[in-house]
Amino acid sequence: MRFLPVLLLTCAAAVAEVGNMSGSWALNLERSRFGSNPKPAGVILTIQHNEPALKYSGTVNHPNEGHIIDFNFDGAIDGKPYTVKEDRGDRTTTFKRLNDRAVQSDSKWSDGELRSVLTLSGDGKTLERRMNFRDREGKTREWVEIYEKKP
């Protein structure tokens, strides 16, 4: 029984070590890798993260395609489906924690499915988002977005 307090403290410390993604983030176009995918002119992302609660909003600027996409999400990192509101149509998304610095999201909407893994750097100044999109015909596209925390 004397080991129970040590076990509880160890578990509490492990939960406390989850990286907090809160802040304002800007897409670094030079460090990101889009391959043959359309490259946005910029993305601004604002995150409020209080594990497991997750709320974010942002804007994607696609001048070559002639549009700006606004989006927002209010849910949790708990494996349950939530709705991401987007100008081009809402989608269902689930978030699950992979480790103390990485979260996987799985999204579905009318034209395909998207899996992304968002990883926070050790210093908390960079977010890497690895994307894998599969359309209705089964074709896949992959790309990597790198975000830097704004002061």
Please check whether residue 62 lies inside any domain of the structure. yes
Is 13 domain-assigned? Answer: no
Instruction: Provide the whole-model pTM.
Output: 0.85
| pLDDT tens for each residue of the chain, 151 residues long | 554 444 444 554 445 589 999 999 999 999 999 998 889 999 999 999 999 999 999 999 987 777 899 999 999 999 999 999 998 888 999 999 999 999 999 998 778 899 999 999 999 999 999 999 999 899 999 999 999 999 9
CATH code of the domain covering residue 85: 2.40.128.20
By CB neighbour count within 10 A (0-12 exposed, 13-18 middle, 19+ buried), where does 21 fall?
buried
- The whole domain housing 69 covers 20-149
Residue type, 44: I
> Is 65 within the bounds of a domain?
yes
Distance of CA 117 to the CA centre of its chain: 7
In total, how many domains does the chain have?
A: 1
